[in-house]
A and B are shown apart, each in its own frame.
Chain A
Amino acid sequence: NAGVTQTPKFQVLKTGQSMTLQCAQDMNHNSMYWYRQDPGMGLRLIYYSASEGTTDKGEVPNGYNVSRLNKREFSLRLESAAPSQTSVYFCASSETRTVQYFGPGTRLTVT
């Protein structure tokens, strides 16, 4: 089992460009999450999906959209990237209220 996979691992964008971060899990988990990690800020939840077909905002949703494509896949889209979105993005999955399993992260730089 690969666990949680994320693509790409690194990305550089110019301000105003758009991109989609992909996440997939092979553990048959119902819940999936997107976090961003910034120095001194810990992990902050952007969006989550409690089950296939549902998505909800987390702590810092502005500037992002998500799609729960199916049970396995949960994508994060930046429609118009801004320098403030420079961060490391982690996807995670879990069963209801159990430990979360994290992907390897995507390091995004917006210039």
Chain B
Amino acid sequence: ILNVEQSPQSLHVQEGDSTNFTCSFPSSNFYALHWYRWETAKSPEALFVMTLNGDEKKKGRISATLNTKEGYSYLYIKGSQPEDSATYLCALIQGAQKLVFGQGTRLTINP
């Protein structure tokens, strides 16, 4: 079983501040990394699929980068808003189909 680590486990940020957090994974046999956003009492929703070393993806104020050689991905949120409060999950594809999820970073935006 792959070990996908996310840090920090939780984060409190003031509204308007920017923030980032990390997903670390084994760098060998990389195929793809997913980022999901999971709001309380809802289901996880996909943010990004990242496949190439050096990939940068952006969706509004949220962006992500990927370094497959050193085994990490960063998720950035610029100008945090209360609606950004959620748990952010990264997941690595193992084999043909399986996703292995990290434990998530729980982000709380303080107004």
B-contacting residues of A (Cβ < 8 Å)? 31, 33, 40-45, 48, 50, 56, 58-59, 90, 96-105
What is the distance, in angstroms, from A6's C-beta to the closest C-beta of chain B? 9
B101's contact among A42, A50, A56, by CB below 8 Å, is which? Answer: A42
B43's contact among A45, A59, A90, A98, by CB below 8 Å, is which? Answer: A90
Are A59 and B96 neighbours in the complex by a CB distance under 8 Å? no
A-B contacts, 16 listed (Cβ < 8 Å): A31-B97, A41-B103, A42-B89, A42-B101, A42-B102, A42-B104, A45-B100, A48-B97, A48-B98, A50-B97, A96-B96, A96-B97, A97-B96, A99-B34, A100-B46, A101-B46
Chain A interface mostly: loop
- The total of interchain contacts (Cβ-Cβ below 8 angstroms) comes to 50
CB-CB under 8 A from A41, the residues of chain B are 103
What is the distance, in angstroms, from B2's C-beta to the closest C-beta of chain A? 10
CB-CB under 8 A from B102, the residues of chain A are 42
Q: What are the 4 tightest A-B residue pairs by CB atom distance, in nearest-first order?
A: A99-B46, A102-B43, A42-B103, A43-B101
Q: Is B62 an interface residue (CB 8 A)?
A: no
CB-CB under 8 A from A90, the residues of chain B are 43-44
Are B98 and A58 neighbours in the complex by a CB distance under 8 Å? yes
Are A43 and B1 neighbours in the complex by a CB distance under 8 Å? no
B103's contact among A40, A59, A102, A103, by CB below 8 Å, is which? Answer: A40
What is the distance, in angstroms, from A24's C-beta to the closest C-beta of chain B? 15
Expressed in whole angstroms, the Cα–Cα distance for A48 and B96 within the complex equals: 11
Residue of B nearest to A44 (CB): B101
Are A97 and B89 neighbours in the complex by a CB distance under 8 Å? no
